Homo-oligomer: A and B are copies of this chain.
Amino acid sequence: MSDITIRLIAPSGYPYDPAAMTRGVARLREAGCVVDGLDVLQRTEQRFSGTDAERVADINALATMGTLPDIALVTRGGYGASRLLPHLDYDALRERLADASTLLVGHSDFTALQLALYAKTGLYTFSGPLLADLGAESCSEFTWQHFWDTLTSPASTAAWPATTTNEIDVQGPLWGGNLAVLCSLLGTPYFPQIEGGILFVEDVGEPPFRIERWLYQLHLSGVLGRQRALVLGDFSHCQPSARDNGYDLAAAFAQIRAVAGIPVVGGMPHGHGEQQLTLPFSAPARLRVAGGRAQLDFSGYPHLNRPAPASAVENP
């Protein structure tokens, strides 16, 4: 038994695929984790995983509960975190969590909470798999392994075939997330002011013109120009339509490369595809690209001083 404790939190959509949730919980328990907070899986309010008050309480409870979990794991994405941002108890969360090692992990709509928590408290969070991902019918061994590697080590790394031939070696805080959600906070007090960073973005099911429009918003707002590099993760199911007349995702990215004024590195295995990395939001990072290979190293983030669960992904 690793005895790692995991508490589920559900800030966004209700679990429309309960079987994935059940599988996710079973896999984590099989690996020796203690999983609680399962009541959130029963909550449904319209398309949300509970009322706004219930979903806010999941997060604010981390400031007041007796014993903190090792990991607070987000059940799934969707939409709904934006509604919660004015109601989080940022001061209490900072006070309680700043020196704790509770690791908040999720992605997709969770990006909104990551941005807001960082902007308002400076707290670390992790862009990584959701319970729905860990419970996917075929959960990727890569995703599972990177999740535990990052969360149980003071430093971690990711490497992938690079889509640029330029040599790059930059350092800065690592941040980013879902592109649509990230841009939905631009102009609000929940969008963090991060300079000299390594910004990663990903999205799913969006036509190329929307991807470009969001990247343009980051460009026109000056956010892109203040970073050391832009890293493109997965853009799954982002197909052009017949009327796009040959304009596709490659054309959108070519335009962004032409105007961004910073290196743009594609192909990071992270997003809504099968593979996900677990990336600490705001941790110091170094990105190197050479010889057709990209390597991202990061360290200095809070982690669990426990061995990773021995067992790998298995169908329970």
- Residues of A that sit less than 8 Å from B by CB: 13-14, 16, 44, 46-48, 78-79, 82-83, 85-86, 183-191, 209-210, 212-214, 216-217, 220-223, 240, 243-247, 251, 255
Contacts and interface: CB of A to CB of B under 8 A. Distances in A.
B213 A82 contact: yes
Contacts of A183: 184
A65 B245 CA distance: 32
A248 to B, nearest CB: 9
20 contacts: A13-B243, A46-B245, A47-B209, A47-B243, A47-B247, A79-B213, A82-B216, A82-B217, A82-B220, A183-B184, A184-B214, A185-B220, A186-B186, A186-B188, A187-B187, A187-B191, A187-B217, A187-B223, A188-B221, A188-B222
B184 A216 contact: yes
Given A79-B210, A82-B216, 8 more contacts: A46-B246, A83-B216, A184-B214, A184-B216, A186-B188, A188-B217, A188-B220, A190-B220
Given A83-B216, A186-B187, A47 B221 contact: no
A102 to B, nearest CB: 26
A85 B220 contact: yes
Contacts of A185: 217, 220
A190 B46 CA distance: 36
Contacts of A186: 186-188, 217
A14 B209 contact: no
A44 B255 CA distance: 17
Contacts of A255: 83
